[in-house]
Structure formats: C-alpha cells, structure tokens
A and B are shown apart, each in its own frame.
Chain A
Amino acid sequence: MYSKGKYGMKQMIGENRVISQDGYIRLTPEAMVDVQLKHMISGLDQEENESRNGGTSRTRITGYTEWVSNDIPYISLGWDWELDVISERLGYVRTGEARSNIMMINSHYIDIGRRDTREILGSIIDVTDWKIVVHQYVTERYRYL
C-alpha cells in the first residue's frame, strides 16, 4: 500500500513502519522491539583474522552477522562481533555500531537522528540471543576449514 506522506511523495506502508524515498524505514523504538528478525548470514573476517594471528592458533576472531525482518518493507540490521576463543563462556561481543536501513522516530513522528538510532538498535541487539544463533551458524559454515 502506497501513500503520500511526511517523508516523501511515496511511502510504502507496512506494519508499524514506513519506508520513505530516502531509503529509511521509520518506526518508533517501541515498534522496533516488536519486530521479528531472522538470521540471514554470518561470517568471519578472514583477512583480519589471518593478519592478526599469522596463521597460528587464534585467541580472538572477528566477524559479521546480518538479520532481516520477515515482512515488507524489510528491515535490515547487521553488526560486527568479536569472539574470545579462550573464554570458557560463549565470548561473543558486539563491536562497533549497528548498521541498518532504520531511522527511529519519536511520538511526534520526528527523526531522532542516526547516532541515537544506532544506540537504541545496539541496546535492542544486546538483549537478544544472537550469540547462540551466530555461533551455531558460523560453526557449521566453517566446519571444514
């Protein structure tokens, strides 16, 4: 469904979200919390890992992960992570800011800005079970390397 709207002449209306001509999907933090994201792909930063460890046994590896919403317009969310492989726990840590096509808005439908959007996205990411999903995926993907 398309309509004219505040952020451009053409917008696609999804559930609790709007995609504008500038490419951003706009939604409130509350609506973002309710978005169901599915894992798309995760991978290792092979170049950085090789240069850091010179081919010897690794104590820390880095990678990325990408997630996407189930319905349109698609929300795309990705971030980098680091794994401390000598930790007895699952030592995945999110590093850097979240990357996305999201611009969060407040209750007055005003953009809250890129920095605050990324900060909120990071907070949302950090309370999910992404580490388990990424670990399972990466372990399987690189099993034979």
Chain B
Amino acid sequence: MSSNLTNVVIAGIGGQGVLKASDILADVAVRAGLDVKKSEIKGMSQRGGSVSSDVRFGQAVLSPMVSPGEADFLLVLDSTQVETNLGVLKPGGTLIKPDAVDPAKLPNRKSLNVALLGALSAHLPLPEKEWIESLREAFAPEFFEPNRQAFLVGRQGVRGDL
C-alpha cells in the first residue's frame, strides 16, 4: 500500500518557513486530486528549535507520519539539520539541501523555502500550474511574484542539471 505513496520530509529551524513549505506541497497534492496527510510537531519550534514536517500523498494514506528510512525526499532548509534528519531517507532517496539553490539568484533570502520547493517540484509528477496557483493563494499579493520567481529558480536549477 505504501509503495504507491510519495513520502516527503521537510526540516529546518523554527522561523525558516518549514511549515509554510509543507502547507504548499500538501495543497498542490490536494489540487492534483490525491489523498494527502501532513503531520508535524509544533510545540516549542517557535523558540528556534528543530522543526520538521511530514507530507505523504498518493491513492490512500493511513498513518500521517513518514517512518524512518522510508522518505523518498528529504528537503532541509538549514544545513545544520541535515545530519539530524538523514535517518528518515530511504536508501536511494533524494536529499535536497540549501546548496541546491544559488542564493544570488533569489529575489530575497527569505524565499529559500519556496526555492527549495521548486527544486523538489522538478522530481514530482505534480503540474506546474497547480504549484503556481498554490503559491498565489499562500502569499499576500505583494509577496507572490518574488516567491514565484524563487520557485522557478529552484525548479529550473534542477531541470538544468538533468
């Protein structure tokens, strides 16, 4: 059953936009008509602690949590958090780190979370149109365009490597 699922873990430090990124990913999967579950432990993350969010999507999702060693993708927003979270990745799974994006190409540094989502999106069979629509709903109008650009920087960066 779980073999039909895509398991993504997004990790970082409180304040980096981990939950915003996982909200957008989950929303895009909903738009694509899939079953989706997203799970995170908030609690004390606001005080600068580690934060991570699990997103699972596919035909039918049961547990909302990604089991250790079963993530297809691990997206890490802070390089200090790679080691901590590496254990969730399955053998042969894809790790996306902050260096997947050239910061010089970003409209602003705060949009790293969305740029890395762009990099992740290049690996997923979810339509670009839905990503853009989801970004449009996720941000206030004045922040949509910089985030759209950041998303495309990440997405095209990966595509260019292919």
Mutual binders A and B = no
B-contacting residues of A (Cβ < 8 Å)? none
